Amino acid sequence: MKKITKDTSLAKVLEDSGAEKILAKHNVPCVTCPFVKMEMDKLKIGQICKIYGIDIDKLLKELNKKLD
């Protein structure tokens, strides 16, 4: 997978094994939401962070570090 940005969809982020644990660590509620499966391709990680007040820079740094 290429670098994750604020415009990467949640579906793409979750393609990487271990991403779910990182999202949960940062309290991204969408990981456990039953409705997210319907919108996963449309939801951008940046949108989610803005809505829930999550530090996007810290989250992206950790997600991209895992990809290296």
Who has greater pLDDT, 1 or 44?
44
| Residue 2 covered by a domain | no
Taking residues 5-12, what's their average pLDDT? 94
Residue 64: partners with Cβ closer than 8 Å, 6 or more residues away: 3, 4
DSSP 9: B
The pLDDT value given to residue 50: 94
Domain that holds residue 50: 10-67
| Residue 48 covered by a domain | yes
| pLDDT tens-place string over residues 33-60 | 777 778 888 889 999 999 999 999 999 9
Task: Please give the structure tokens belonging to residue 29.
Answer: 């509620």
Global pTM? 0.85
Into how many domains does the chain fold?
1
